[in-house]
Amino acid sequence: MTSVKQFRIAEPATADEPGRGRFVFTDAYSVFDWGRMPD
């Protein structure tokens, strides 16, 4: 993934439930989410 965030699945989706997840943000930055910028 070229993003500066990760998505972690806490509970997978099923046919009856949408599931649960969370974003984990890093200290990196990006422009328009096109990927991590160089240092």
> What average pLDDT does this structure show over 20-34?
75
Q: Convert the pLDDT of each residue in 14-26 to its tens digit.
A: 999 999 999 887 7
Question: So what's the pLDDT on residue 10?
Answer: 95
- Whether the Cβ atoms of residue 19 and residue 9 lie closer than 8 Å to each other: yes
Tell me which of 23 and 10 has the higher pLDDT. Answer: 10
**Could you tell me which residues come within 8 angstroms of residue 36 by beta carbon, excluding any fewer than 6 positions away?**
2, 4, 28, 29, 30
Residue 16's identity, in one-letter code, is D
- Count, residues in the chain: 39
Domain boundaries along the sequence of the chain: 1-39
pTM of the model as a whole: 0.47
